[in-house]
Amino acid sequence: MKGNFQIIILVVFIALAILGVLVFSGAIPLGNKSSSTGSLGTVVLWGTVKTELISSALDDFNRANPTFIVKYVQKDPETFDQDLLEAMASGVGPDMFFLPDNLVFDYANKIYLIPYTSYSASSFQTSFSSAGEVFMTSKGIAAFPITIDPLMMYYNRSILEANSIVYPPVYWDDVVNLVSTLTKKDELNKITQSTVAMGQFSNVFHAKDIISALFMQAGNQIVAEKNGYFSSLLGENSGSQIDLSSILSFYTSFADPLKNVYSWNRSFVNSQDAFTSGNVAFYFGYASELKTLINKNPNLNFSVASFPQIKNSSFKLTSSKVTGLTVSNFSKNLQTALTAASLLATSDFSSKFAEAMQVPPARRDLLAKKPTDSFSPTFFSSALYARSWLDPSSSDTDNIFRGMVEGTLSNSFSAQDAVKDAGAKLNLLLLKYR
């Protein structure tokens, strides 16, 4: 009897030792680490990314996770919404799909919100850069962030060098101080070279995103969420360090002929074309636009810098576009879809996907490994302090922000009333999601 007891004790100790080795080696995950245990079969992932760009990365992922298969289906961006709606209605929709941050509201009833009991908020914030928090709601996680596309400041090196300017501006004060030097006019007082493409709306690429970045730099998050209800923070100074009307006035001053920072007007072609034509010193565009800028003018001598900041601010911030991986509320293999989504976002796939998209990854550990080319280090640094906001409808909010800018420029509104009007319209838009 004593011998049997000793054998049992020995077996238990051996089992515990083996378990300890497996845990510390990562073979058995703990906490929020994803496991493929119980994840079987095939799950379908939809997106508008070209198959050839991610097929190799997905093949590697499937080989590394042999208990299930992720099958990618490329969809036409023009018909994606309709295809998704029809597929879900007929019960043959995807298990997962790539989700841009500006479509979270549109797809709210199609998304499975991952509860924080399954993937904690602290683990999410530790794993992903702050821009990814646009997918965090009070009720759960809407998507796992994959990429961050930060808003940058591209600058014409030749223009700066011709005017003995050694470095691009870091703060908005620096931008203002350069206008008198870099803005050129002819004998009829017509602008022939602009310092910066700002002030107007219709011919300034990403005007809404530039203004949004300025508002967020002032401490205003534009949209707030509490217990699943969303409200506008425009027209209020809730949490703002600077009054938003002064921010709007600052933006529109660059298109006001009566202001000493006048540098842009409606007669210019769009800001991207003006920059690639060599007629504007600073252009605010996304990291993903680099290839487009090069292709438009391969001879343009330009580089990139961080989006300008408010001097003496306690934090840095720029706008961004975030792409996430979300699980469908209609998945017939939910457990496998959840496991696959988590693993895709935290495995080598996310790094390869970001590289294919030519934008920074969303994972913090990957952002710490900056490439050594001329542009990526600045992109990666900006991605770390980039932010986004829950835009309920891109087209509708474009019109709201356009109204703010054009109402101020035409003197139809004071800047203060324009911001209040925008806040009221944004609240009406958000009512649809209550």
The C-alpha atoms of residue 388 and residue 296 are separated, in whole angstroms, by 28
- 32-149+321-384 has CATH 3.40.190.10 classification: yes
Which pLDDT score, from 0 to 100, does residue 18 have? 40
Token pair, residue 38, equals 């119980």
Average pLDDT per consecutive 10 residues, the chain (434 residues; last block may be shorter): 46 40 36 54 96 96 96 95 90 95 92 96 97 95 98 98 98 98 93 97 98 97 88 75 92 96 96 98 98 98 98 96 97 96 95 96 97 96 97 96 98 96 96 78
Dihedrals phi, psi of 286, to nearest 5 degrees: -85, 160
CA separation, residue 354 to residues 114, 145, 167, 207, 378 (Å):
23, 11, 29, 25, 15
The C-alpha atoms of residue 94 and residue 53 are separated, in whole angstroms, by 20
Which pLDDT score, from 0 to 100, does residue 16 have? 38
CB atoms within 10 A of CB 329: 15
Per DSSP, helices labelled H in 254-393 are 271-276, 290-296, 334-346, 348-357, 364-367, 376-384
Strand 318-327 to 386-387 pairing: parallel
Cβ(77)–Cβ(48) below 8 Å: yes
Which pLDDT score, from 0 to 100, does residue 188 have? 87
Radius of gyration for the chain, computed over Cα atoms and rounded to the nearest angstrom: 25
Residue 78 belongs to what H/E stretch? none
Which pLDDT score, from 0 to 100, does residue 15 have? 44
Outline which parts of the chain fall under CATH 3.40.190.10: 32-149+321-384, 150-320+389-433
The C-alpha atoms of residue 363 and residue 374 are separated, in whole angstroms, by 21
The C-alpha atoms of residue 69 and residue 95 are separated, in whole angstroms, by 12
Which pLDDT score, from 0 to 100, does residue 198 have? 98
Instruction: Please state the pTM of the whole predicted model.
Output: 0.90
Write the DSSP symbol of residue 232: E
What architecture is domain 150-320+389-433?
A: 3-Layer(aba) Sandwich (3.40)
Q: How far apart are the first and last CA of the chain?
A: 69
Query: DSSP per residue over 151-191, as a string?
Result: EEEEEEHHHHHHTT--S--SBHHHHHHHHHHH-EE-TT--E
